[in-house]
Structure 1
Amino acid sequence: MASSNPRTNTPKPEGGGGGLTRREKMNGLERQTKLNQEEQEEEEGFSHGDPPPFRLADVRAAIPKHCWVKDPWKSMSYVVRDLVVVFALMGIAFSLDSWGFWPFYWFAQGTMFWALFVLGHDWRAKISWPRMVRVVIGHGSFSNSNTLNSVVGHILHSSILVPYHGWRISHRTHHANHGHVEKDESWHPWPETLYRSVPNSTRMLRYTAPFPLFAYPFYLAWREPGKKGSHFHPESDLFTSSEKLDVVTSTICWCAMVALLATLCFIFGPTPVLKLYGVPYLVFVMWIDLVTYLHHHGHGEETLPWYRGKEWNFLRGGLTTLDRDYGVFNKIHHDIGTHVVHHLFPQIPHYHLVEATEAVKPILGKYYKEPKRSQGPFPFHLIESFLNSLRINHFVSDSGDVVYYQTDPHLAIDGVSKYSM
């Protein structure tokens, strides 16, 4: 099995002479954490990059049967709950129009926009898959009705400026190829040649906080370096000819929402629309980028492999994701933190994910990494995880079937870079 080991491929920090700089100390600490984790895994005879000793069917069999049951009424109750909160917050903010309340409203409403996105994500209609994966892929986890899933999904996603079918299809690609260096679609690593070829400004924006937290709208419009197409255009490389009408439908719905916002700006002025909708939308964008990034990046003890060629399969790819604890937001965001089981079996309704996760832990064993728990209601610990990951997870080797992220010592640390913009 060809592999690229982070122990041998992570560049040494630059520096000279006497004492270590803070940058060198931080790089050395992260590298030592990785080495300690790898040595421990070797001593125990375990490596996350090795093929697991269990099958996908074994994991599936451990999940209680009732966890697969979809209750459309229960699903709809969550939609109603979230919409009631969204409109209640909007009504209170509009009535008070107080700068003492606006910051709370922006954060709370952006949080609820993310909750609506998660529900729209689960309302995704069922889709056709190759026989080998269709049993475990295709969300439709709220009901068995494609029509209901599509209608509710369009309403929820269009309301927060997400093209329902366009993103559904690219997210399907992500689930079907998760953990594959070239074929994955969401926050996948750049091979070193691609990493070195992009402009310095692109590299800085991708790996320097807070810029990655605003990536989602740009991803929808242009995807990312190395991948062409748009989630709005039916001729995009993302879609097949049979999906073009779906994409056109979603793009029309997205345009209708933009037209509605423009009309509201004309009637009430841009400032109220910006305060009631624009700022919460930006908070939502930050939520989606933070959450999706954290689920697909680890560092230190959370270091995970990426695959190519024959080393990749659906099970191994699905195991290269991490659960996260979002504190008080776990339930608000419909337990999206239980991401491992969601990737392996995305058709499980969100209200069964916690139970399903507990059921599969004995089967997954060391292939499941317990998430670091929030010390309070707010998951401030994830900020450190995000920043540390940006600092060390930059690219993977151009070759090798099992590879790990490597670090570019020239890239920004604490906002400082040796690259010129």
Structure 2
Amino acid sequence: MNLQPRPSKLQCVEGPPDHTGEERIPGFSPMKWSLAEIRAAIPARLFIRDTRRSMRYLVRDMAMAIAMWRLALFIDPFFQAGQTRSLLGAPVTETLRWLSWMVYWWFQGLIFTGIWVIGHECGHGAFSGSKQLCNTIGFITHTFLWTPYFSWKISHHRHHSNHASMERDEVYVPKTRGDLRISEGHGHKIDYEDYLGDTPIFTLFMLIRQQLLAFPAYLLFNVSGQKRYPAWTNHFNTESILFTKGQRRLVIVSNLGIIAMILGVQRACATFGAAQILKYYGIPWLCVSHWFIMITYLHHTDPSLPHYRNKEWNYQRGAASTVDRPFLGWQGRFFLHDVAHFHVIHHFFPKMPWYNGAEATGYLKQFIGEHYAFSDKPAFQALWQNYNDCQFVENDGDVLFYRDRQGRAQRRPASPEM
């Protein structure tokens, strides 16, 4: 979710943009297959949901979270003990104490994120064939991690149903040239530095702000959501455009869950102290917000991925406009349940169990070929580069690709066949 402020001092000038030389960059033609054809290429057994297997993953994650918490209880008593401080010295002891806390925050943050991912799978019905079980587990796990389960589930389903559609997608909708008021030029060269030029330090600050605040900002203020929604659109207002009248009861239930969390955290802070709650729970939760935003941003934001307008969009083209990444290597696979490794297949078939994603991706890749997107670029390098390379798309056209801070695209729609 891009929290970069919108420039206001420059006016949009009508006229064709200067795309001189872009015939040399790779062309792209949208894929032609139907969703039924793609589904037929994947064995039916991979769509079967195994409730017991799903429960084992949930129990494993909960056991790891409890174990990490129990181990963390020893950090301060051990390193603050007089015997330890006299043996190692105060500077070494304090250094090791904070290093131990950082190790806890890293792994507990990953474990919490894995629990959040299981709640996300529940929202799609991929955890079990029982809708009641999915909603019960999803509500508990997401509420524990400050996500209004039913409210977010509703908007997230709409995102899946309309992904990569400029008119209808819910999140990660690219800004257009007009949104940023970038002159389209009349044969003269555009000075993009006037519009998009930021120092690396400021860009880093904006990126960190995105990583820490983007998800709460989306839930509360629709940041990076669909621009045509009215002001103050959010996930907590029962009258929001995000929801139908029949869904308002579910929004209320989600809100009650968040209220219960607020009261619970207040009580815990009063009992154990705010600093303790922050160390054991608050910082790992902040890591969840960071990992979730980083993962989803890199799923849906890349110079090679198309966005569509009008009749060029369909569900399967939108599903293919995501990218798989080997996010954090083995840690991403083990703790995060392959949420980044095999995300493309998830967009095609959200109810497919996540533990079948690896095998199903093999069949998908074989069938759709070059339309399957994969990047093995290191995650943090990709985050920095994509944040700079994915600035805006054109005002016109039905197949669109991001342009960078110099107005350059890395891909273009292929010329129509004669």
Q: Is the 8 A contact 1:11 1:407 kept in 2?
A: no
Question: RMSD of the alignment, in Å?
Answer: 2.4
Letter in 1 for 2:110: T
> What is the CA deviation profile of residues 387-410 of structure 1, one whole-angstrom value per residue up to 9, with x for unaligned ones?
111112111122211111123449
Counterpart position of 2:160: 175
Runs of 4 or more above 3 Å deviation: 8-12, 34-37, 203-208
- For residues 321-379 of structure 1, give each alpha carbon's deviation from its aligned partner in whole angstroms, at most 9, with x where no partner exists: 10111201123211112111100100100010111000111111110123317xxxxxx
Q: Secondary structure at the match of 1:100?
A: helix
In 2, Cα distance between equivalents of 1:383 and 1:35: 31
Distance 2:36 2:362 in 1: 17
CA distance in 2, matches of 1:99, 1:206: 25
Q: Percent identity?
A: 34
Structure 1 unaligned segments of length 5 or more: list them: 1-7, 13-31, 125-138, 374-380, 411-421
Amino acid in the other structure paired with 1:331? F
Q: Give the direction of change, closer, same or farther, for the CA distance of 1:275–1:79 in structure 2 (3 Å limit).
A: same
* One-letter code aligned to 2:141: L
Distance 2:203 2:275 in 1: 29
- In 2, Cα distance between equivalents of 1:242 and 1:205: 42
* 1:251-270 equivalences in 2 (<5 Å): 251-270=255-274
CA distance in structure 2 between the partners assigned to 1:10 and 1:297 by the alignment = 24
Matches within 5 A, 1:238-317: 238-299=242-303, 303-317=304-318
1:209 aligns with 2:213: no
Asked if 1:96 is matched to 2:97, the reply is no
Match of 1:336 in 2: 339
Residue matched to 1:111: 110
Partners of 2:298 and 2:75 in 1: CA distance: 36
**TM-score, length-scaled by structure 1:** 0.78
TM-fit CA distance, 1:236: 1.0
2:388 is paired with a residue whose SS is helix
Letter in 1 for 2:71: I
Deviation (angstroms), 1:156: 0.4
Larger C-alpha radius of gyration, 1 or 2?
2
Q: Which amino acid aligns with 1:254?
A: I
Question: TM-score normalized by structure 2?
Answer: 0.78
Using the alignment, how far apart are the partners of 2:39 and 2:369 within structure 1?
A: 14
What are the residue-to-residue correspondences of 1:17-416 with 2, within 5 Å? 38=26, 42=27, 47=28, 50-97=29-76, 98-124=97-123, 139-196=124-181, 208-214=206-212, 215-224=214-223, 226=227, 227-228=229-230, 229-299=233-303, 303-326=304-327, 327-328=329-330, 329-337=332-340, 338-372=342-376, 381-409=378-406
Alpha carbons 1:395, 1:405 under 8 Å: kept: yes
Contact 2:165 2:318 in 1 (8 A): yes
Q: Give the distance between the partners of 2:62 and 2:44, measured in 1 at CA.
A: 30
Q: 1:363 to 1:165 in 2, by over 3 A?
A: same
Q: How many residues align?
A: 347
CA–CA distance in 2 between the matches of 1:324 and 1:362?
17
Distance in 1 (alpha carbons) for counterparts of 2:125 and 2:204: 32
- 1:23-68 superposed Cα distances (whole Å, 9 cap, x missing partner): xxxxxxxxx9x97651xxx5xxxx2xx2313221121011112111
Partners of 1:115 and 1:335 lie apart in 2 by 9
Give CA deviations for 1:187-207 in whole Å, capped at 9, x if unaligned: 22122222349xx99x97899
Return the alpha-carbon distance in structure 1 between the equivalents of residues 136 and 18 of structure 2.
Answer: 48
CA deviation digits over 1:204-240, x for unaligned, max 9? 7899322221211111111126244111221111100
- In 1, the alpha carbon distance for the partners of 2:291 and 2:300 equals 14
Q: Which residue of 2 aligns with 1:414?
A: none
Distance in 1 separating the partners of 2:204 and 2:163: 20
Counterpart amino acid of residue 336 in structure 1: V
Q: Tell whether the 8 Å contact from 2:150 to 2:254 is kept in structure 1 after alignment.
A: yes
